[in-house]
């Protein structure tokens, strides 16, 4: 990075103020009626960018000077040629021959817009800075001598990834389409699932320099308006140069910085996003990432998968219970193991206590350190496995898990019971469908292990209490994190730990204070 | 969403868990020493008195809808007696918190950590409680909601399996010595319901304060149910004579549980681990009441600074009694103070018609 001071407004747009009278409120730099001057300003602003193309030409039988400006690679060349250049240079002549040309220079632009430009999405822009942003987003600017404004033609089209199955959220049954990196495609995917005219998709730009396109989606009449206002308010407070990913935004919008728990949910699945909108949540989509943010997120949500609703309810309920149970196993088992072995062996049945004690005889490390070391190395293997290319990653698993584990036990460095506990914990932690929640549990294991090593079961219970204090005190966008379990909202419990039969899920979750609470008519009302 | 308002179900659970958290482990012995095998009748009578107390607090609170006890005391009793009563109340709850803490530390040291210093257990507990209290009553109420479904299944399963060993004939004959033992048992039988004292402070924080009485009575009903099952079970297993000799009969009760093919041995450790949750809540509630009440007496807007002032006081009061006998004396003193306070408020509530309260 150069040490040169960067001016806050990066683009040297402002023409010298002629009178110097308007010192306080300079009007935003606007286009003039002089084409040459406009092009000069644009060239100055976009200087040294080899990918920006300026194409000057003449329009109509009077040879009105005109130009298009676009960024090579961001525009659909075919569309540009067909809808703009061809239309202006070839077809206009035909129109004129029929006696209805756009000949008057003053009205030329309006007339061209009406009759010549065949592109679908066209808007006018007077503001230079806006215009440049449009150009850099892939639109084409069309300027004509004497107009005083430019026509922004949507010619966006670039190489993008096709719609693929979401890698991180696979389902056995359910749609296989995932979000991609283009925000417009993503909003379209949501729109295709929800054709309600009251599905609002508000656009905005975030990032002073990156000017990333973002969209805030919600369903009016369902969502609590206070929630939308709060999301807008928080988004408006983001003042940063570059938005990389929704992860960025998530961390800037969340209520508690210190919490290990994710306070918004991200998803690659349009069906999940649409379902969340239908519940009365707000979705934030950002250009450049296939992950949409859903706010607010509550604890229970991270144990649910869209598939829960596609499969039969008994199966779905079983899987949900399994996930919750597994997550507690993943978090507390190592700590309880350490507490039992080191402080309360009496709690174990005598044969088991004896066999553990026998297997621990001659071990170099105290049990807490042994468990900590195993957990630590397990995390190392896991991280190594994720970062390596997939083919090599498998080897890491085999070498790390099987060979080292086996050798460590045979060399009597660690006791087999510890290996079993750590391995069980690891497997249990993979059951949690949400990666960010799984990480939270992974992290919490370590302080709990410490607490167990120092204070035994009392330490584990204190840890449990502290985690719970934190969770009940945590609010996300005004919703209690542990909703709908706490505060008790029994009506919503049909869809919490268990997933009730489809016909019984008649209401949206109360915690979100939706405007329209009923989502399904009862069996009787629907005439079953 | 309104902050710092609690739902009536939360009040119910708070009342129940605060009572159980402090007195449960010792309750059967405590009651049996005064009332013998008829203790369950004393518990019923005690619950009835507690119901009367709930009525008193609720009807006084109705006169002062947005005020806590320390705010309406001067209006209710006159300025100087009111201030005196406020100090008494704060001292009472400070000692209640201290007793809860000490009792907890003693039990844990006795059954779980014979070599860990009492101070370490108590400080760890107290700091955790301070962390919860600083978040306010909402968090305590939600914690009650989280812990209740964790605790109740454990308790239910234990009691269910105990039923096979209980000999209910030990409860007979009923009242063979007349009403006297039952009457003697009313004092301890009432003391074990102390938890509802939190109504004094928490009623104005309810979402719907007209529900206060029903909610608190629900809490007392839950407590009574748990106590009755436990007491009759303890008498049924140990007999009233033996029961009077036990300091922590509930622990012995769980220890007495024998199942074929036991998965765990020394299941009382499991009971104690779960009981930590309830006990923690009772301590935190008392701690909160003192901090909150003191901040109101002093006219502070925020109560969280008071937490740090109250914390050393509670700790000192908890560490001061040198031995178990002194701790028991402390519990008796608390019981006496509680009975006196209840009498004052019940009488005052009864006289509301004759001696109307000034507007505060």
> Collapsing DSSP states into helix, strand and coil, what is residue A25?
coil
pLDDT tens sequence across A31-88:
888 888 888 888 888 878 889 999 888 887 778 888 999 999 899 888 888 888 888 8
Mutate which of B130, B133, B146 to test chain A, going by most A C-beta atoms within 10 A? B146
A323/A378 same-domain check: yes
Distances (CA, A) of A475 to A264, A471, B132, B148: 11, 8, 15, 21
A200/A111 same-domain check: no
Average pLDDT estimate for A456-475: 93
With an 8 Å Cβ cutoff, are B143 and A347 in contact? no
What residue in A sits closest to B6 (Cα-Cα)?
A487
Tokens of A251: 């961390």
A211/A92 same-domain check: no
Residue A255 CB-density burial (10 A; 0-12 exposed, 13-18 middle, 19+ buried):
middle
Domain total of chain B: 1
A340/A452 same-domain check: yes
Predicted complex ipTM: 0.94
Indicate if the pLDDT at residue A458 is higher than 50: yes
With an 8 Å Cβ cutoff, are A344 and B266 in contact? yes
Mutate which of A461, A479, A480 to test chain B, going by most B C-beta atoms within 10 A? A461
> Collapsing DSSP states into helix, strand and coil, what is residue A377?
helix
Residue A173, domain member (yes or no): no
Q: Which residues pair with A205 in a beta bridge?
A: A213
Among A480, A498, A520, where does a domain finish?
A480
Q: Which domain holds residue B234?
A: 8-350
pLDDT confidence of B173, banded at 50, 70, 90?
A: confident
Residues of A in Cβ contact (< 8 Å) with B270: 347
> In this structure, what is the dihedral angle of CA atoms A286, A291, A294, A295, given to the nearest 10 degrees?
-60
Residue B135, domain member (yes or no): yes
pLDDT at A101: 59
What residue in B sits closest to A511 (Cα-Cα)?
B1
Angle CA(B13)–CA(B104)–CA(A455) in degrees, nearest 5?
Answer: 110
pLDDT tens sequence across B141-172:
999 999 999 999 999 988 998 888 888 888 88
CA distance A490 to B353: 40
End-to-end CA distance of chain A: 69
Residue A510, domain member (yes or no): no
Indicate if the pLDDT at residue B228 is higher than 90: yes
Tokens of A93: 């002549």
Tokens of A383: 């991280």
pLDDT at A146: 82
Give residue ranges of A with CB < 8 Å to any B CB. Answer: 343-344, 346-350, 455-462, 464-466, 468-469, 472-473, 478, 480, 482, 485-488, 513
With an 8 Å Cβ cutoff, are A343 and B266 in contact? no
Residue A498, domain member (yes or no): no
A349/A433 same-domain check: yes
Are A446 and A426 contacting, i.e. CB atoms less than 8 angstroms apart? no
Question: In terms of Cα–Cα distance, which of B37, B20, B19 is closest to B233?
Answer: B37
Residue B1, domain member (yes or no): no
Indicate the pTM of the whole model.
Answer: 0.89
Residue B122, domain member (yes or no): yes
Average pLDDT estimate for B52-71: 89
CATH code at B229? Answer: 1.20.1740.10
Distance of CA A30 to the CA centre of its chain: 35
CA distance A408 to A400: 11
A343, A346, A488: residue with CB nearest B265: A346
A323/A290 same-domain check: no
Question: In terms of Cα–Cα distance, which of B351, B352, B342 is closest to B49?
Answer: B342
CB pairs < 8 Å spanning A and B: 91
pLDDT at B268: 82
A327/A475 same-domain check: yes
Residue B228, domain member (yes or no): yes
Q: Which domain holds residue A190?
A: 183-297
Residue B147, domain member (yes or no): yes
Question: In terms of Cα–Cα distance, which of A249, A170, A261 is closest to A475?
Answer: A261
Are A287 and A207 contacting, i.e. CB atoms less than 8 angstroms apart? no
Question: In terms of Cα–Cα distance, which of B208, B226, B186 is closest to B52?
Answer: B186
Relative to beta strand A199-206, strand A265-267 is unpaired
Residue A10, domain member (yes or no): no
Mutate which of B265, B266, B272, B278 to test chain A, going by most A C-beta atoms within 10 A? B265
C-alpha distance from A527 to closest chain B C-alpha (Å): 36
Residue B87, domain member (yes or no): yes
A266/A319 same-domain check: no
Average pLDDT estimate for A211-217: 92
Residue A513, domain member (yes or no): no
pLDDT at A106: 67
Give chain A's largest Cα–Cα span.
104
Residue B134, domain member (yes or no): yes
Are A66 and A143 contacting, i.e. CB atoms less than 8 angstroms apart? yes
Residues of A in Cβ contact (< 8 Å) with B208: none
Residue B360, domain member (yes or no): no
Residue A176, domain member (yes or no): no
A196/A255 same-domain check: yes
Domain total of chain A: 3
Count other Cβ atoms within 10 Å, centred on residue B96: 30
Are B266 and B286 contacting, i.e. CB atoms less than 8 angstroms apart? no
Residue A368, domain member (yes or no): yes
Secondary structure of B25-62 in the HEC alphabet? CCHHHHHHHHHHHHHHHHHHHHHHHHHHHHHHHHHHHH
pLDDT tens sequence across B182-218:
888 999 999 999 888 899 998 888 888 888 999 999 9
Average pLDDT taken over every residue of chain A: 86
Residues of B in Cβ contact (< 8 Å) with A486: 142, 145-146
Average pLDDT estimate for B103-113: 89
Residue A373, domain member (yes or no): yes
A270/A142 same-domain check: no
Are A371 and A340 contacting, i.e. CB atoms less than 8 angstroms apart? no
């Amino acid at each position: 990075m150069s040490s040169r001071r960067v001016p806050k407004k990066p683009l040297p747009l402002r023409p010298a103020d002629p009178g110097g009278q308007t010192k306080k409120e300079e009007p935003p730099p606007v286009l003039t009626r002089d084409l040459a001057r406009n092009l000069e300003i644009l060239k100055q602003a976009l200087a040294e960018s080899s990918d920006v193309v300026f194409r000057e030409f003449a329009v109509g039988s009077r040879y009105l000077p005109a130009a298009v400006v676009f960024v090579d690679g961001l525009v659909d060349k075919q569309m540009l040629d067909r809808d703009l250049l061809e239309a202006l240079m070839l077809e206009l002549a035909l129109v004129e021959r029929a006696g209805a040309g756009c000949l008057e220079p003053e009205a030329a632009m309006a007339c061209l817009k009406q009759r010549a430009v065949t592109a679908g999405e066209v808007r006018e822009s007077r503001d230079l800075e806006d215009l440049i942003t449009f150009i850099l987003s892939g639109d084409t600017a069309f300027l004509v001598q004497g107009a005083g404004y430019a026509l922004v033609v949507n010619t966006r089209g670039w190489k993008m990834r096709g719609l693929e199955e979401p890698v991180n959220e696979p389902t056995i049954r359910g749609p296989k389409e995932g979000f991609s990196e283009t925000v417009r495609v993503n909003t379209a995917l949501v729109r295709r699932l929800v054709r309600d005219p009251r599905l609002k998709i508000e656009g905005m730009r975030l990032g002073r320099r990156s000017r990333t396109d973002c969209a805030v989606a919600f369903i009016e009449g369902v969502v609590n308006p206070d929630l939308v206002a709060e999301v807008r308010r928080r988004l408006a407070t983001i003042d940063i140069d570059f938005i990389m990913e929704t992860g960025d935004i998530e961390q800037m919008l969340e209520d508690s910085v210190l919490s290990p728990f994710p306070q918004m949910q991200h998803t690659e699945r349009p069906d999940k996003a649409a379902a969340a909108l239908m519940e009365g949540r707000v979705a934030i989509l950002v250009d450049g990432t296939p992950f949409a943010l859903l706010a607010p997120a509550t604890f229970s949500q991270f144990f649910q998968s869209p598939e829960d609703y596609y499969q039969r309810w008994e199966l779905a309920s079983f899987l949900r219970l399994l996930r919750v149970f597994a997550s507690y196993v993943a978090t507390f088992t190592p700590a309880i193991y350490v507490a039992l072995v080191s402080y309360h062996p009496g709690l174990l049945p005598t044969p088991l206590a004896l066999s553990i004690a026998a297997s621990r005889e001659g071990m170099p490390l105290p049990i807490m350190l042994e468990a900590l070391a195993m957990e630590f190395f397990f995390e190392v293997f896991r991280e190594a496995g994720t970062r390596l290319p997939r083919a090599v990653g498998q080897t890491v698993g085999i070498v790390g898990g099987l060979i080292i584990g086996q050798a460590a036990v045979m060399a009597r460095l660690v006791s087999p019971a510890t290996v079993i506990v750590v391995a069980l914990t690891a497997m249990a932690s993979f059951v949690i469908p949400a990666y960010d929640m799984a990480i939270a549990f992974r992290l919490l294991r370590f302080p709990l292990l410490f607490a167990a090593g120092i204070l035994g079961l009392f330490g584990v219970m204190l840890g449990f209490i502290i985690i719970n204090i934190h969770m009940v005190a945590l609010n996300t966008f005004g919703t209690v994190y542990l909703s709908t379990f706490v505060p008790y909202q029994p009506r919503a419990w049909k869809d919490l730990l268990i997933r009730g039969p489809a016909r019984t899920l008649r209401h949206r979750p109360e915690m979100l204070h939706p405007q329209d609470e009923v989502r399904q008519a009862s069996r009787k009302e629907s005439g079953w | 969403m309104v902050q710092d308002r609690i739902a009536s179900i939360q009040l119910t659970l708070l009342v129940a868990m605060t009572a159980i958290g402090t007195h449960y482990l010792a309750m059967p012995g405590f009651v049996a020493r005064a009332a013998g095998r008829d203790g369950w009748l004393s518990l019923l009578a005690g619950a009835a008195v507690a119901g009367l107390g709930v009525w008193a607090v609720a009807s006084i609170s109705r006169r002062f809808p947005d005020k806590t006890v320390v705010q309406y005391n001067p209006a209710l009793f006159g300025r100087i007696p009111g201030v005196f009563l406020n100090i008494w109340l704060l001292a009472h709850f400070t000692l209640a918190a201290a007793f809860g803490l000490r009792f907890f530390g003693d039990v844990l040291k006795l059954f779980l950590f014979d070599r860990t210093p009492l101070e370490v257990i108590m400080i760890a507990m107290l700091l955790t409680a301070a962390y919860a209290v600083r978040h306010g009553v909402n968090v305590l109420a939600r914690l009650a909601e989280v812990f209740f479904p964790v605790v109740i299944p454990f308790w239910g399963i234990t009691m269910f399996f105990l039923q096979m060993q209980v000999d209910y004939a030990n409860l007979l004959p009923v009242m063979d010595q007349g009403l006297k033992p039952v009457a003697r048992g009313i004092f301890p039988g009432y003391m074990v319901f102390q938890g509802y004292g939190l109504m004094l402070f928490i009623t104005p924080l309810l979402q719907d304060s007209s529900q206060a009485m029903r909610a608190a009575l629900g809490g007392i009903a839950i407590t009574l149910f748990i106590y009755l099952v436990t007491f009759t079970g303890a008498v049924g297993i140990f007999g009233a004579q033996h029961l009077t000799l036990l300091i922590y009969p509930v622990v012995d009760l769980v220890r007495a549980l024998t199942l074929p093919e036991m998965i765990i041995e020394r299941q009382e450790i499991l009971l104690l681990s779960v009981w930590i949750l309830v006990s923690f809540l009772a301590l935190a509630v008392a701690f909160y009441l003192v901090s909150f009440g003191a901040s109101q007496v002093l006219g502070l807007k925020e109560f969280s600074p008071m937490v740090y002032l109250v914390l050393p006081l509670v700790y000192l009061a908890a560490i001061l009694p040198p031995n178990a006998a002194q701790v028991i004396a402390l519990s008796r003193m608390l019981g006496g103070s509680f009975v006196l306070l209840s009498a004052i408020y019940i009488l005052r509530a009864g006289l509301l018609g004759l001696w109307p309260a000034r507007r505060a």
